[in-house]
Amino acid sequence: MGSRTILRGGEEMFFLPDVVSFYSSVMEEWKSEKMIALLMGCSQHKPYSASFMHKKTIGLLVKHGLDEFVQQYIIGEPLVVVPREWEEKYPAAHYEFPPEMLGEGGREVFVERLKRFLSKAISHHKHFIVFAPNHHKKIILAASEGLFSPITVPYNLYKLPMLLKTIKEVLDGKV
């Protein structure tokens, strides 16, 4: 983590300059042409790839040669969306935001910013798969409403085979 400050707090964090700057960078600079966008929830562990479920998901994609077709996005408060490739870019690995600190005002900001991102992302990805805990799944579904209907896979270690099957069916044109 180096000498970077760990940002801590609740929904006021959506408006911190570093958080707003990160979101703006994602909106203005990030590009991916991978066919599938995999929307995952954030984790307590930073970088996210240090968490058990993220490790397992990354391993599954790499093992089956799917990472070149699947763009991983981590959805969470307060950064809204973090491409896997930017998970160590400040402040992505340098914050603590307990989900229970998200109030209604913060949820509105979260959904609105995510909707803006997804509006951009639909021109880059053909399919969206949600593999996230219920808290983040509800945010993603609210933000995608009116844009597209994502495929949802239950978020559970034992559902990784279902995630693999879903991704393969999407790539084979069966979905």
CATH code, domain carrying 118: 3.40.50.10630
Residue 2 forms part of a structural domain: no
Q: Is residue 175 part of a domain?
A: no
Average of per-residue pLDDT values in the chain:
94
From residue 46, alpha-carbon distances to 88, 97, 172 in Å are 8, 12, 34
**Residue 40 structural domain:** 8-169
Q: Is residue 95 part of a domain?
A: yes
Report yes or no on 29 lying in a domain. yes
Specify the pLDDT at position 7: 82
- Segment 93-116, tens digit of pLDDT: 999 888 888 999 999 999 999 999
Q: Which of 172, 114, 104, 103 is nearest to 143 (CA)?
A: 114
Number of domains in the chain: 1
- Burial class (CB within 10 angstroms; exposed 0-12, middle 13-18, buried 19+) of 103: exposed
Within-domain flag for 41: yes
> What pairing do the DSSP bridges indicate for beta strands 80-83 and 70-76?
antiparallel
Element of type H or E holding 82 = strand 80-83
d(CA 127, CA 124): 9
State the pLDDT at residue 101.
87
Let me know if residue 126 belongs to a domain: yes
